[in-house]
Amino acid sequence: MEKGFLPICRRDMEEMGIKQLDFVYVSGDAYVDHPSFGHAIIMRTLEAHGYTVGIIAQPDWKDKTSIMEFGEPRLGFLVSSGNMDSMVNHYSVSKKRRKTDAYTPGGVMGKRPDYAVVVYSNLIRQVYKHTPIILGGIEASLRRLAHYDYWSDKLKRSILLDSGADLLSYGMGERSIVEIAEALDSGIDVKDLTFVPGTVYKTKSMDSVYDALTLPGYDELKADKLIYARSFYTQYCNTDPFSGKRLVEPYGEHLYVVQNPPAKPLSQSEMDRVYSYPYMRTYHPSYEEKGGVPAISEVKFSLISNRGCFGGCSFCALTFHQGRIIQTRSHESLLAEAGQFIWDKDFKGYIHDVGGPTANFRHPSCEKQLEHGACKTKQCLFPRPCKNLNVDHKDYIVLLRKLRELPNVKKVFIRSGIRFDYVMADQDDTFFRELCKYHVSGQLKVAPEHVSDAVLTRMGKPENSVYQAFTKKYKKINQEIHKEQYLVPYLMSSHPGSTMKEAVELAEYLRDLGYMPEQVQDFYPTPSTLSTCMYYTGVDPRDMKPVYVPRNPHEKAMQRALIQYRNPKNYDLVLEALKKAGRMDLVGYDKHCLIRPRQKDGRTQAFSGKNAGGKTRSSDRKTFIGKEQRKKRTIRNVHKKKTKK
């Protein structure tokens, strides 16, 4: 057995003197004992509470003996697809199979099945007919009630029913898994575990269900998309641990799926404890021969400082998974973790990230949240910051200063995302200045997502004017501190609400900026987001108003091509998009045009690549010119030098 790691096979279990494990964790990811991996946190939490647990990582789902490695656990099986939904892990937004899997040794694709939670759970049930099965992780959490499944283009039942499992733990799960373990250990039958916050169970009778909101039945949801939109919004308004109600979703006359209210957020001391467990902070040594697990490289020298997000972006599932109330770790806890890896032989002096879903959220958005919860029908930052919002970066500033002073640390980066509208809402520029001075390396990535206010409204993002003000201030501060640093905006195409008109508007913005992004994210309809509900139903569940939805793959390709209009490969798509939008004024030789007409011989002329002033900015060239353009420029420069000589 590898010292310090939890058992991965029967021999490990026997070497530890364990005759029967309390729990067996079945995961779609390889075993990585690092707090950025959900299976590591849940297993170490159980271990800290006195339970024995082993992991079967990426079992062969075609062979039921692979699930029998440890034999039958005393208390139950825990099943998760891993850190990602298995379908997102496997397929791009165009439903094409991905080539690599960062959570598998060597990055090999195909080591887990599609809909992994359902497949693993059914595999277990073939062998162990009565052993409790508890689902967890992101795939189960976001599919806990009826949900739209993009890959099959259908409304699916609760994953609890299709999997044959007994119980589902949603959210981060530390509180609920301990309560579940204690209940099972005390002799309570898994079918009687109907009282644990943060869980979902199934029942044939409503006799024991109290204080609940009954949602429309599954048959009604399938028959009418508008009914589903209203049901989804009811779920969305009940994701808060303080104000959320118990929800019941009927499946016929004698089967009900019951979602208990969310578990309470962890206190700071509880968060500290979770991250203080004896993680090995790397993948299991048995994967070394295959090249290790690629995903560890992004998190090995990073720090998770918070959970939750009150940003409320429509396309993000965090509201359903981690919730809107911020939970943080203490400075002492973060410094202690950093103190472990700054002496690592592979540490080069760079802490890659200090953050969470949103890096610069370090406290609840207002004082009311910890007593009354987040507002059901209002957002903290959208459409503009709430008057009760507590905008304060002081604690984060102090934390970053302490980390910068640690030995062996050359630079502390912030890569998990800055909420720029929250930065702009802060009247004190100290954080903004220190961000530019110490925590950016040439480029700062931010997520305006779009420039059209019509689309931004559906996204739950601030008006474009806020981002424009941020860019000006960013440029001004960098000039004052004598640094040449740039913004790299994350942009999204084909989000609900984006017609060809808005797509062209985004292309014009990029033209004026002198920037063509090398990567563009098409909107990806993943389970349990407001945007996915819009995509499926054609209405915004917040106001039930119709929303234009780009669903046709060709139209989506055109919207994407407009963002990368300078790429010659996109010429035909861009031309078609401009014709469809009635914007042929953007085809020509003028400085405002996106593309030029084809020459008489049928060849396509080069794209303008110029800004509104008719000149290509040197700073933009330096930062954003594509690889092929840089190569050609180098060849030209060499040729000029030879000519001069």
Binding-site residue ranges: 309, 313, 316
The answer to whether the Cα torsion of 153, 154, 155, 156 is positive or negative is negative
Contacts of 488 (CB under 8 A, 6+ apart): 443, 444, 445, 446, 517
Length of the chain: 645
- 251 within 8 A of 67, measured Cβ to Cβ: no
Contacts of 150 (CB under 8 A, 6+ apart): 87, 524, 525, 526, 532, 535
Spatial separation of the C-alpha atoms in residues 260 and 498, rounded to whole Å: 36
Spatial separation of the C-alpha atoms in residues 25 and 54, rounded to whole Å: 6
Of 145, 209, 196, 141, residue with least CA distance to 172: 141
CB atoms inside a 10 Å sphere around CB 568: 13
Of 389, 382, 380, residue with least CA distance to 463: 382
Question: To which residue do tokens 């930052």 refer?
Answer: 381
- 152 within 8 A of 64, measured Cβ to Cβ: no
- 491 within 8 A of 445, measured Cβ to Cβ: no
Output the DSSP codes for 38-90.
Answer: HHHHHHHHHHHTT--EEEEES--TT-GGGGGTT---SSEEEEE--SS-HHHHH
Q: Strand 147-149 and strand 154-156: pairing?
A: antiparallel
| Single-letter code of the amino acid located at 365 | S
Compute the chain's Rg from CA coordinates. 26
Spatial separation of the C-alpha atoms in residues 553 and 150, rounded to whole Å: 13
Of 337, 386, 396, 387, residue with least CA distance to 361: 396
Query: Strands across the sheet with 443-449, in order?
Result: 443-449, 486-493, 521-522
Cα-flanking dihedrals φ and ψ of residue 565, to 5°?
A: -65, -20
- 296 within 8 A of 32, measured Cβ to Cβ: yes
CB atoms inside a 10 Å sphere around CB 599: 9
- Binding-site residues from annotation for [4Fe-4S] cluster: 309, 313, 316
Beta bridge partners of 539: 546
Measured N-to-C along each axis, helices 500-513 and 553-563 cross at an angle, to the nearest 10 degrees, of 20
Spatial separation of the C-alpha atoms in residues 80 and 141, rounded to whole Å: 10
CB atoms inside a 10 Å sphere around CB 367: 11
Could you tell me the maximum CA-CA distance found in the chain, to the nearest angstrom?
93
- 83 within 8 A of 295, measured Cβ to Cβ: yes
Output the DSSP codes for 266-329.
Answer: PPHHHHHHHTTS----EE-GGGGGGT--TTHHHHTTEEE-EE--S---TT--HHHHT-SS-EE-
